[in-house]
Amino acid sequence: MTRRRTRSPAAVPGTTPPRRPEPATGPTVPGTAPLARTAAQAARRPTARVSDAREFGRVAVLMGGNSSEREVSLNSGSNVLAALRARGVDAHAVDGIPALIEQLAQRRFDRVFNILHGGDGENGVVQGLMQALGVPYTGSGVLGSALTLDKIRTKQVWLALGLPTPRYARLERGADVLAAAREIGLPLIVKPSCEGSSVGVSRVFEAEDLPEAVELAGRYPGELLMEQLVVGEDYTVGILGDVALPSIRIVPAGEYYDYHAKYLAEDTQYICPGLEGAAEEQALELSLNAFQASGCSGWGRVDLMRDRSGRLFLLEVNTTPGMTSHSLVPKAARQIGIEFEELVWLLLETSLPPAGSTP
């Protein structure tokens, strides 16, 4: 395998060290056999607030769209749709925002389950539309969605609060890439600031590979993010309400956890929980703090790296994670006894007013 090399622009100082699922189970996620739960895990288990599917009314499952993550979104959406229908919810697929606007104008839906990955599904556009129309929807609001789709701005918030994230540089079109790379040092990662699912990502180990990495990331809109490559282990932590789910350590068969390893490969290993004892609690606390500090709510996923000395580094927040056969939030939920259909029900409940609030 050819190793791609990368560097980055002017560094930002201050980094702190550190289609249908089977009934009741949903899509099969490799390595998802639930383990014995600790008392602490049992205490953190979210429970449903609603028992009657009719309380949700008619639900639009928003999926597909036109972002680079369309196919993943369609996969997630079909699983979500099947799980909702299996539990008696009057749910219907809607492909993309124009179709949603048309159907909402005809008052066909009471709420929206947003599983539109990337682009306008996660950058605050759908959320602002729903709020303007007064239609309840799942997941984070405008602020959390818009902020966290932009990895650079998310890092700026984390650094302001002293939360650990890799050294990085914001790279505008035409910036002095070599100077930025010298500032950060090799090895580096170059990626679009506003894309997900490892789209447009390159790892750079030698200076001569920088132009190719920048060209690839530059195919996507927005600024480029160049950051320190943390050598260590990949982790992710799902968030459900105000609960951090058990961490997952990701062990790809290849060198890196790229798009192929995420969505296509069957030999990627997912170890859950990924850590034990104090290290696990630290990862969960850091992830929940990062999620809430970014203005997020409802549900999501926080990605981290743990270097060889045990320090954790925040990478990014995903406010509409995948719900495919390879997705990680369902795996983490299953670890604490929440199967796929129940998880989807709990996610739909994030469209309800907070408990105790006045409608």
Catalytically annotated residues: 69, 197, 263, 301, 303, 316, 318, 322
Q: Going by DSSP bridges, is the β-strand pair 168-171/269-271 parallel, antiparallel, or unpaired?
A: unpaired
Give 142-148 contacts, CB < 8 A, sequence gap 24+.
143/295, 144/294, 144/295, 144/296, 144/297, 144/319, 145/296, 145/319, 147/294, 147/295, 148/122, 148/294, 148/295, 148/296, 148/300, 148/316, 148/317, 148/318, 148/319
Q: Residue 354 CB: number of other CB atoms within 10 A? A: 9
Q: Measure the CA–CA gap between 330 and 80, rounded to whole angstroms.
A: 11
Q: What phi and psi, each to the nearest 5 degrees, are found at residue 129?
A: -60, -45
Please list the residues that pair with 5 across neighbouring strands: 204
